[in-house]
Amino acid sequence: MIELRQLTKTYGDKKAVDGITATIRPGVVTGFLGPNGAGKSTTMRMILGLDRPTSGTALVNGRPYVSAGAPLAEVGALLDAKAVDGGRSARNHLLALGATVGIGRRRVDEVLESVGLSEVAHRPAKSFSLGMGQRLGIAAALLADPAVLLLDEPVNGLDLDGIQWIRELLRELADQGRTVLLSSHLMSEMQLVADHLLVIGQGRILADTTIDDFIDSDGGAVVVVSPDASALARLLTGDGVTITTREAGRFEVRGLTASVIGDLAFEHRLRIHELTPVTASLESAYLELTRDSVEYTATTPAHRKAA
Ligand SMILES: Nc1ncnc2c1ncn2[C@@H]1O[C@H](COP(=O)(O)OP(=O)(O)OP(=O)(O)O)[C@@H](O)[C@H]1O
């Protein structure tokens, strides 16, 4: 179990993590999600004692991780899959790591087998593809059989097969009663692997919920294409209705059904060329939730609200 209580990290006048309180439970895969710069890595570093909180606490199994007796056996972490001596073989890398906590060949070979690297175990790590490197990083995290796993962007760069593999592995680890926390800024990947979501934006919690409830919280939207878009958007604007202009003549409405929009347009003699309900998806719920907290955005017009 990981417990965050009012966890805060300030760099200069920037709050990278701003009073996060959450409990990450054993037995489920928790996805830690947020746009670039949201504070995910900083939070994970504080959990691992690699960064000191400005205030608040991060506890692993009831105490700060730095004070854990056998750190490798307490928390398995993948923070940077490239942090490997590339000249060493995968097996030697794990043997060297294992030697620090009395883990020998048998366990190393077992872990190599479980991440599917047995056949390339003698190849130098620098010859590994991105996906193989991620597998090696995960092998290192699993080595001492920890009860808590913390994986930063573990599916980054993996192909669909690799993502499937991680999903099954994480499910198995959670089913064994472990605490599994993994971060990503991509909802599409998270949707495939997590049961529970902790969503942050600009250092603050935006959602702490199951994936199913997260999807349900998004009522879906209706896409409207109309040559009278401005007049129609003005007509539809009201309490509980959100209108987002995607491009000239096309906007998205939340809070009204397609039939209500169609009837209103008809009554006011406004033309509609397209009226399409969009089923709620995790991706759309996520984009909606984090829209105002995206720190680095390439284009703004797509998110502009209609007048
Ligand atoms: N050592 C540091 N010094 C100053 N600012 C920092 C430092 N580390 C992180 N930050 C800032 O804190 C904020 C949170 O960064 P962090 O890396 O935790 O975000 P993230 O959610 O992991 O992002 P990404 O998805 O891009 O990895 C960012 O604005 C970042 O620029």
In this prediction, residue 125 carries a pLDDT of: 81
Q: CB under 8 Å to 277, separation ≥6 — which residues?
A: 220, 221, 222, 257, 258
Q: How many CA atoms lie within 13 A of 86 on its CB side?
A: 6
In this prediction, residue 300 carries a pLDDT of: 37
131 lines ligand 1 (CB under 6 A): no
Distance 115 CA to ligand 1 centre (A): 30
Ligand 1 atom closest to Cα of residue 41: 22
Ligand 1 atom closest to Cα of residue 295: 29
199 lines ligand 1 (CB under 6 A): no
Closest Cα to atom 23, ligand 1: which residue? 37
In this prediction, residue 140 carries a pLDDT of: 92
For residues 165-185, b (16+ Cβ closer than 10 Å) or e, as one string? Answer: bbbebbeebbeeebbbbbbbb
71 lines ligand 1 (CB under 6 A): no
pLDDT digits (tens, 9 = 90+) for 133-143: 888 999 999 99
42 lines ligand 1 (CB under 6 A): yes
- What does the alpha-carbon distance between residue 20 and residue 230 come to, in Å, rounded to a whole number? 40
Closest Cα to atom 2, ligand 1: which residue? 11
41 lines ligand 1 (CB under 6 A): yes
The answer to whether the beta carbons of residues 49 and 64 sit under 8 Å apart is yes
184 lines ligand 1 (CB under 6 A): no
Distance 52 CA to ligand 1 centre (A): 14
Closest Cα to atom 18, ligand 1: which residue? 39
11 lines ligand 1 (CB under 6 A): yes
In this prediction, residue 307 carries a pLDDT of: 34
185 lines ligand 1 (CB under 6 A): yes
Closest Cα to atom 4, ligand 1: which residue? 11
Closest Cα to atom 24, ligand 1: which residue? 36
For residues 81-102, b (16+ Cβ closer than 10 Å) or e, as one string? Answer: beebeeeebbbbbbbebbeeee
Residues with pLDDT less than 70, the chain = 67-70, 81-84, 86, 157, 215-219, 279-285, 292-307
- What does the alpha-carbon distance between residue 82 and residue 122 come to, in Å, rounded to a whole number? 17
34 lines ligand 1 (CB under 6 A): yes
In this prediction, residue 247 carries a pLDDT of: 85
Distance 22 CA to ligand 1 centre (A): 19
User: Which residue, among 58, 38, 33, has the nearest Cα to 48 in the 3D structure?
Assistant: 58
3-state helix, strand, coil in the chain (%, to 5): 40, 30, 35
Pocket test for ligand 1, best of 7, 8, 11, 187 (most atoms within 8 A of CB): 11
In this prediction, residue 68 carries a pLDDT of: 60
The answer to whether the beta carbons of residues 127 and 116 sit under 8 Å apart is no
36 lines ligand 1 (CB under 6 A): yes
201 lines ligand 1 (CB under 6 A): no
